Structure 1
Amino acid sequence: MTATRMKFAIDDGSTNVKISWIENGTLKTVVSPNSFRKDWKSAALLRGQAVYNYTIGTTKYTYDATSDKALSTTHIEYQYDDLNLLAVHHALLQTGLTPRDVEVIVTLPITQFYRPDDCQRNDERIEAKRRNLMRDITLNKGELFRIVDVHVMPESLPAALSHLLNSNVNEFTKSLVIDCGGTTLDMGVIVGEFDDVSAIYGNNEIGVAMVTDATRKLLAAADSDSSYLVANELIKRRHDADFVRSVINDESQIEEILRKIEIKIQELGDQVAYEAKKFAKNPNRVYLVGGGAHLIEAALRQAYATLGDRVVTLDNPQSALSREICLYHAETEVEQVASPQMVEVGDDE
């Protein structure tokens, strides 16, 4: 990496963008939530806070962390549209670095990156992702990073690279990687230390959005903020009584809301476990990554009970993929790895 052409590894998921880079020997990671709506926000209302008003073509967008009018990103088309372009540029600004020419390494869900029929690269979709991120975008009263090159990698599988290299696996070991994200469930079977990818599977209808959408409806019924960001934070911090009371206005509904969230989490875990066992009945290891990893962990440990501690939830699973991609493409030595930082709403799990 050079000062003029830094590289950023970006796992640009539908709920959050995870961005990693190397700065003075330290691998840094920021998790930037996606919460954009159309039209611009007035700076006068924000008392000195940064305002992010963007324009793509003739359409104006703004970053609005808690807006219940935030545009949905929980669909596969997000990978190729304005919201993806917004999310990547907004995440770059959250690094705190001075805007400059940069190269980015971004991701596509497995079923978009590979053709399901023959496990070969889907060059058409990969190129569509590249072209989308090379489009023009402007920031009102501000400067953006200039993306001069885009590389695309598959989601989930590279996240387990370091673990595989340090786990004494042999050429017969089959590792199942399960990535439960906001919109998609991606799975792949890796042979050995990454000698081969023997099978892939993706489902665009299973993801944390199942829990998020239900939580938004519950919050709205309790006269509370029902934005995607608040709903996801409530799911993550549902055991924090003070936080729960701070976001649910009708306190008489708290117990019922938490009960229904737990039911939805169980349903998500059961669906993922069912799909996993159907896809890979007897893997030697299972690695859980993605923002939903902690939500599905209990169900997967039960589904693969004979594996015991070989069912592994990676450290900071939400941002594991961007960190591993950054390490894989590193051109300078990494001396330490900093804890991931979540923009505005707390640290990564």
Structure 2
Amino acid sequence: MQKVFWVRLAAFERDLVTTALESGADALVLPDGCTEKVHELGRITVIAPDGDRRLGLEVRECHIRQKSDEDAVVANGGRVPTLITNRDWTTIPLENLIARTDNVIQTVKDLRQAELALTTMEKGAAGICLETESAVDIRAVGALVRRVANEKLELVRAGVESTEPVGVADRVCVDTAAILQPGQGLLAGNTSTAFFLVYNENVESPYCDPRPFRVNVGAVHAYIRLPENKTGYLAEIRAGSRVLICDAKGNTFPLAVGRAKIEKRPMLLVRASVEEKPVSLIMQNAETIRLTRPDGEPISITELRPGDEILAYGEAGGRHFGTRIEETITER
């Protein structure tokens, strides 16, 4: 689940603002008169009297001193983010609020408080606001937020059943905005509940140079796993979309797409199963297209044989416009 990361500064300090931008902060909370200076350095939401969002209007602030203060936060109903502060920082008020409402941003002073706020009652606050004058703390907390927010998926072994040419169709290549590491790729499948881990193109080949930012995923109709437990169709991916990068151990992180290419190519239907549950994907029929073995190594789809094992990920239920729902849906 994505977590909001705000940084609160007592005054405009160029180095701290730059550090917040580089550390992935979603917003800066600042005094009046700082917004224009911040926007000169980069695009980021400023919460200030003259900012993009204003305290007291688009963002509420509440000092938790007693139970009635908690009730006031709950009465807001999560309609706008509520930034809460505690005179003596303890987790009990936050636990009470997490149990009763949403959209709570907890003020924290350091890495320890940030970790507690993000993991309290397993769910954690919707986000944190780091009040600091330390660039080191901003970097450390930014890294923590990314780590906590990233999903950990349980990949399983799927047994290959068959590969079958299906003629020419529209294939989607996803070019990400970063260099992918060995073992990383995208989860895609013909259905919304079963996906293969498609390996990225950082493998040396006599036929073409490596493209370590690219994943040659599959046909336009296929589902792709996205951040925040959502899916989308490959045909919908475009520059600026965010996809979910996954490795062989199930570690994930969101990443921006720089380009998606749709081209007509000869295609191959790969079928496998996990405990008799089918997993399949239509992919380009070429030796440079690879899935992932259980040990994290790539295997070309042209080398697949019945009985080979490849990594897959499965879910229960169905999807409605990419959002997971509890419903009986048959896909085949």
TM exceeding 0.5: no
Higher RCO by CA contacts (8 Å cutoff, separation 6 or greater): 1
TM-score calculated relative to the size of structure 1:
0.21
Larger Rg computed on CA atoms: 2
TM-score (norm 2): 0.22
Hey, which of these two has a bigger chunk of strand by percent? 2
Higher helix share: 1
